[in-house]
Amino acid sequence: MEFLARTLILACKHINDQSNSDSDADVELLEAIAAELGSASDAEKQCLVKSAKLLGYEAWPEEMGIL
């Protein structure tokens, strides 16, 4: 699970870093991911939070609406 969490975080950060303000598709994709993550169990959310911290992206869970 932690491997998947780290992979998801890196993919989201990459999409966010590569997108510009005119890229509606990128914004829609990140919003869809955030919506799905909102349905995660408490254990899954904690795994994502832990993984984000390990990767140095402490703000990511809040940015994605997990916290």
pTM: predicted TM-score of the whole model, two decimal places: 0.78
Mean pLDDT of the 2-11 span = 86
- pLDDT tens-digit map of 15-64: 888 766 567 788 888 888 888 888 899 999 999 999 999 999 999 999 88
pLDDT above 90 for 13? no
DSSP string, 21-46: TT-HHHHHHHHHHHHHHTT--HHHHH
Spell out the residues 6+ positions from residue 18 whose beta carbon is closer than 8 angstroms to its own. Answer: 26
